[in-house]
Structure 1
């Protein structure tokens, strides 16, 4: 029972970290990456469809993303979706492919992006603490139902706290890496 609670908490904390990594991949750093546009939803015949299902996305140069739609008729819809997204990039097309040129980031924009990264990091920390709270609540219920002793509950809570500290430390490392990546000119 205790091991189930701890295993569940560990799995959920791991998922919170993976969600943070995935989220931070979409923040542009001045270098082109397919992850910047993969999440964009294109209105494909009235159905929101991820861009990666409608086109191949490649990075031929460090500052450029190349989007090659599977059918030419999708180009206007993809351009519209990119223009409406929060990327702030203007798509250009030559009738075959769509090119996105990633401009170098200025100092002010870099600082704004580090604030966004830190905010997302704090959201991940809060999520991990909420998982800890839920696990501790589950342990308290097990103790209340006399399924475990008070000592067992306290030992399990200490394990969960250690896990929480490790995961929060990992979040801090990920945020620090992303900040360094953004501030690199």
Structure 2
């Protein structure tokens, strides 16, 4: 029973860390990255659909992304969605076949804004990890009548170690992203 609680907790924490890393990748650094646009919602036949499902994306240059729709009829909708996602400050151009998205050079002020955004996402991930730990601790406390106190104490120490490992992974990913953002 204790092993089940700990394995489920480890699995949930690992998913949270992966989700945090994915969130970090959606914040723009100096180089254009197709990952920035994967989740841009496009109104495709009345349904909001992530751009990654509607088009392929390549970056031939450091600050340019080329979006090639799988369905040419969705070209206008994709272009509209990219123009609407102007938190990136991108210039969007359509030649009838593909869409070229050119990202401007990042200013120092904009880089610092992105660092704040990434730190907020990192803190959200740490809060999620602490919530998972709290639920696991409650589950372990519920087992007190069935299992000995020594086993519960050992499991709680192991839970703290699992939590620390996952928080450290989030912190490492956060530091890497901050370094990437501040790099000119």
**TM-score (norm. length: structure 1):** 0.95
Assess if the C-alpha contact under 8 Å between 1:30 and 1:102 holds in 2: no
Give the C-alpha shift of residue 169 in structure 1: 1.1
Give the C-alpha shift of residue 147 in structure 1: 1.1
Deviation track 1:33-57 (CA, whole Å, cap 9, x = no partner) reads 1101111111111111221222211
Assess if the C-alpha contact under 8 Å between 1:63 and 1:103 holds in 2: yes
| Deviating more after overlay: 71-80 vs 16-25 | 71-80
CA distance in 1, matches of 2:126, 2:134: 12
Give the C-alpha shift of residue 170 in structure 1: 1.1
Equivalences for 1:1-185 in 2 at 5 Å? 1-85=1-85, 86-143=87-144, 146-185=145-184
Q: How many residues align?
A: 183
SS of alignment partner, residue 31 of structure 1: coil
CA distance in 2, matches of 1:138, 1:46: 43
CA distance in 1, matches of 2:126, 2:44: 36
CA distance in 1, matches of 2:37, 2:96: 19
Give the C-alpha shift of residue 90 in structure 1: 2.6
Assess if the C-alpha contact under 8 Å between 2:31 and 2:62 holds in 1: yes
CA distance in 1, matches of 2:52, 2:167: 32
State the Cα RMSD in Å: 1.0
CA distance in 2, matches of 1:45, 1:100: 23
Assess if the C-alpha contact under 8 Å between 1:30 and 1:103 holds in 2: no
Structure 2 residue ranges without an equivalent (≥5): none
CA distance in 1, matches of 2:179, 2:168: 17
